[in-house]
A and B are shown apart, each in its own frame.
Chain A
Amino acid sequence: MTPRHLLSVADLGALGIDEVLRLTDSFVEVGARPIPKVPALRGKTVVSLFFEDSTRTRLSFEAAARRLSADVMTFAGSSSSLNKGESLRDTVLTIEAMGVDAFVVRHSCGGVPAQVAGWLGAVGDASVVNAGDGAHEHPTQALLDCYTISRERERRFGAKAGRPQVLSGLQVAIIGDIRHSRVARSNVIAFAALGASVTLVAPPTLLPPSVQGWPAEVSHDVDGALAKCDVAYLLRLQNERMTEQFLPSVREYTALYGLTAERARLLGPSTLVMHPGPVRRGIEIAAEVVDSPSSVITTQVANGVAVRMAVLYLLLGSGAPVGA
């Protein structure tokens, strides 16, 4: 049973995530063809509803929809630039009235994709894909990260894992601004569901107010975490965090929590270095580490399109074979 919406990566469960990953394999294969396009979603309309700037994620989703032969519409505008006379709900219902099969929603506030799904539930059967909502979740990022870890380990080290828990036994350290990160929330859920042990590494001010019930450990010892992890997952640090008094300075953050070239020497030979982008070289991660062989940051981006194809296909697909 496929869910109608993808609002949280928890909607999928381990089996659902594994299904997306396997589907992604076939779309990676499609992407390698001379004409990387299949007719699976011909006649379907996908709208990207981006109330928060994010060119990369929007382009990735739109490329995914086009490679599935869906028609794509784009709505871009910050929530503050919305016409004061029209509520968010009215905006959504107006676009729905144009005939839409899927809404890909990004908003700076948590919960908007769930609200959109609620408003749509009363009028039709369109699907909603959460493309990042505030500090809540970013499910497709988590899916592409799971895919990248599992397939890169297989490709590099021939590491075959059991299914559906393809990350079973792995140690993942998520390092940085956990508090404000939707990527961290989705990844904690997904990594744990697939069998990994997750450690959150951050200064106390950049941890969520509570991690009670999270399937993760917390540490302030970045060196210790790096030395034992199979995946070092760095999060972006935004400059606002200094003005908001979460940190004394970027310099101090880099010294204490940055993946510097020196610290990178602590990493094991098979440890993967990941980052959801955009990377701030020299802040959370040194330039030479970004470009080192252990970094799979560009692979993450490449896999993003195939994963999003898999998600759209799963939610909207009519059952037509992928390779048709």
Chain B
Amino acid sequence: MARERQVLLRGGTVVDSTGSRLADVLVKGEVVVAVEAPGQSSEAPPGALALDAEGCAVAPGLVDLHAHLREPGMEEAETIETGSRAAALGGYTAVVAMPNTQPAADCAAVIRQVLELAKSACCDVRPAGAITVGREGKVLAPMAEMAAMGVRVFTDDGTGVQSAALMRRALEYATALGAVIADHCEDASLAGNGCMNEGQVSSLLGLLGRPAVSEEVMVLRDIALARLTGGRLHLLHVTTADALQAVRLAKAAGVPVTAEVTPHHLALTEEALRGYETVYKVNPPLRTLRDVVALRGALSEGTVDAIATDHAPHPPEAKDTSICDAAPGVVGLETALSVCLTELQLPLGTVLALMSWSPAKIAGLHPAHGGPIVAGAPANLCVVDLAKEWVVRPEQMASRSRNTPFAGRRLKGKVRHTLLAGEPVVVNEEPQR
């Protein structure tokens, strides 16, 4: 048997949930074996790969609660291979893959297929299971058989569970499985065929709107159901100030609810739609400045538990059409951390909490992902060059799709290396497989 691989991350600042310190990190095989003050291990052990982390943060790998990897069924948009490579480049060592594939991941057979494909992925791909059969919102999917395969997140994402009765049953049923029910909160009867936030801008542009209340009534409903059932509720992509206020009150009342926000909802407003560019069409829609301010304010106070990408790749033909016909969604895995570091005036530790250890806990992946960087811990790590400035070039992305709303933007901070179970899957910003 070949000797175990050794990697030395040298000269960086280790940042994890316990704080930060200057330290070199030595990885052997799949685990961290030493975290030592610089100088003590200035010589890499013979045969070890030394990776420069000078001026960088060495952090637990990021964890995305919300990525659409499109496989099986929509491989023209993304595959587990390309999506996980994009994730690794973005610093992610684990992503929760959404079940709105074709067929939907609503039973053990499809979960097994995703897990099989995930074996050669560039990050840990954890499939979420559908709440209802075919994501049709009518009949509960066999959650227990999926949970037995390790599924810990269930969602019909893409749409919300429209029936309050069914949502109640899902929350009740999941309590026995140790799973979380994640909901895409938009009341379909209020959102209709809207293609942007409803309000002043949509009225001027003559576009059908998706009102903020379509999200808020469903957030309020789900909170009431979580309170009733005791089931763990995760709110996907919360976007409005009033929805956040509902989450704030629910948390204060002890309701078992967590919430995520996306980088695009933190960085962009509905004003982006004024040029009718379909790349900005996303569900829930980009909201108003008031909402963005509220979202940003909630990040550091604990109302928001995680920043998730809602990475939603689409091929060009799905976007090269009218706003009404265009598919909603933006890609985000390769830009999420940089956008957050650039746009949010937050301490690095807070950003990492929202993008690594906190989502890892929600998805049941902690401490394998997001755990403290100590001897014996699994080596799922990312190294972030905090000073590096770069410009987003869609044509250079690893994702199979190019629908980023940040094309041409100058961002500060970039992932330099990513280690997945000790293997350097990204070295010097280049994917290794």
Residues of A bordering B, CB below 8 Å? 79, 85-90, 107-112, 114-115, 118, 133-137, 182, 185, 208-213
Q: Is the CB of A209 within 8 A of B207?
A: no
Extra A-B contacts (12), CB below 8 Å, given A89-B320, A111-B205, A115-B278: A109-B207, A109-B322, A109-B325, A112-B276, A114-B275, A114-B276, A115-B323, A134-B207, A135-B208, A136-B206, A136-B207, A213-B200
B204, B320, B323, B324: which contacts A213 (Cβ < 8 A)?
B204
Q: Is the CB of A134 within 8 A of B324?
A: yes
Residues of B within 8 A of A134 (CB): 206-207, 324
Q: Is the CB of A87 within 8 A of B203?
A: no
Residues of A within 8 A of B321 (CB): 79, 87-89
A87, A133, A208: which contacts B316 (Cβ < 8 A)?
A87
Residues of B bordering A, CB below 8 Å? 198-200, 202-209, 211, 275-276, 278, 316-317, 320-325
A268 to B203, CA, bound (A): 32
A171 to B325, CA, bound (A): 38
CB distance from B327 to the nearest CB of A (A): 12
A87 to B323, CA, bound (A): 13
A136 to B324, CA, bound (A): 12
Q: Is the CB of B200 within 8 A of A110?
A: no
Given contacts A210-B200, A212-B200, contact A110 B317 (CB under 8 A): no
CB distance from B202 to the nearest CB of A (A): 7
Closest 8 CB pairs of A and B: A111-B276, A136-B206, A109-B324, A135-B206, A109-B322, A89-B320, A87-B320, A208-B203
CB distance from B144 to the nearest CB of A (A): 39
A117 to B166, CA, bound (A): 47
Most B-side CB within 10 Å, residue of A136, A210, A212:
A210
Residues of B within 8 A of A185 (CB): 204, 206
Q: Is the CB of B203 within 8 A of A108?
A: no
Residues of B within 8 A of A115 (CB): 276, 278, 322-323
A79, A86, A182: which contacts B325 (Cβ < 8 A)?
A79
Closest to A7 in B: B276
Given contacts A89-B320, A114-B275, A210-B200, contact A136 B205 (CB under 8 A): yes
Q: Is the CB of A107 within 8 A of B322?
A: yes
Given contacts A87-B316, A114-B276, A115-B276, contact A209 B209 (CB under 8 A): yes
7 A-B residue pairs with CB within 8 Å: A87-B316, A87-B321, A109-B207, A111-B207, A115-B322, A134-B207, A209-B209
B204, B206, B317: which contacts A87 (Cβ < 8 A)?
B317
Q: Is the CB of B206 within 8 A of A137?
A: yes
Q: Is the CB of A90 within 8 A of B206?
A: no
CB distance from B285 to the nearest CB of A (A): 13
Residues of A within 8 A of B275 (CB): 114, 118
Closest to B273 in A: A111
Residues of A within 8 A of B276 (CB): 110-112, 114-115
Residues of A within 8 A of B316 (CB): 87
Given contacts A88-B322, A110-B276, A112-B322, contact A210 B207 (CB under 8 A): no
Closest to B208 in A: A135
Residues of B within 8 A of A209 (CB): 198-199, 202-203, 209, 211
CB distance from B84 to the nearest CB of A (A): 28
CB distance from A77 to the nearest CB of B (A): 13
A137 to B205, CA, bound (A): 8
Closest to B321 in A: A88
Most A-side CB within 10 Å, residue of B202, B322, B324, B325:
B322
Residues of A within 8 A of B325 (CB): 79, 88, 109
A96 to B5, CA, bound (A): 58
A106 to B208, CA, bound (A): 17
Closest to B198 in A: A209
Q: Is the CB of B204 within 8 A of A79?
A: no
Q: Is the CB of B205 within 8 A of A110?
A: yes
CB distance from B169 to the nearest CB of A (A): 29
CB distance from A94 to the nearest CB of B (A): 13
CB distance from B401 to the nearest CB of A (A): 14
CB distance from A288 to the nearest CB of B (A): 33
A108 to B199, CA, bound (A): 20
A299 to B354, CA, bound (A): 64
Q: Is the CB of B199 within 8 A of A110?
A: no
Residues of B within 8 A of A137 (CB): 206
Closest to A245 in B: B189
Closest to A207 in B: B203
Closest to B206 in A: A136
Q: Is the CB of B203 within 8 A of A210?
A: yes
Residues of B within 8 A of A90 (CB): 317, 320
Residues of B within 8 A of A135 (CB): 206-208
Residues of A within 8 A of B204 (CB): 185, 213
A182 to B316, CA, bound (A): 29
Most A-side CB within 10 Å, residue of B198, B209, B316, B317:
B317
A87 to B278, CA, bound (A): 13
A134 to B206, CA, bound (A): 7
A156 to B258, CA, bound (A): 69
Residues of A within 8 A of B203 (CB): 208-212
A79 to B276, CA, bound (A): 17
CB distance from B10 to the nearest CB of A (A): 47
CB distance from B407 to the nearest CB of A (A): 14
Residues of B within 8 A of A112 (CB): 276, 322
A232 to B199, CA, bound (A): 27
Given contacts A133-B206, A137-B206, A210-B200, contact A109 B323 (CB under 8 A): yes
Residues of A within 8 A of B199 (CB): 209-210
Q: Is the CB of B317 within 8 A of A79?
A: no
A88 to B321, CA, bound (A): 5
Closest to A184 in B: B206
Residues of A within 8 A of B323 (CB): 109-111, 115
Q: Is the CB of A110 within 8 A of B207?
A: yes
Closest to A182 in B: B206
Closest to B278 in A: A115
Residues of B within 8 A of A108 (CB): 324
A35 to B56, CA, bound (A): 79
A89 to B315, CA, bound (A): 13
Residues of B within 8 A of A89 (CB): 320-321
Closest to A86 in B: B317
Most B-side CB within 10 Å, residue of A87, A118, A185:
A87
A278 to B339, CA, bound (A): 50
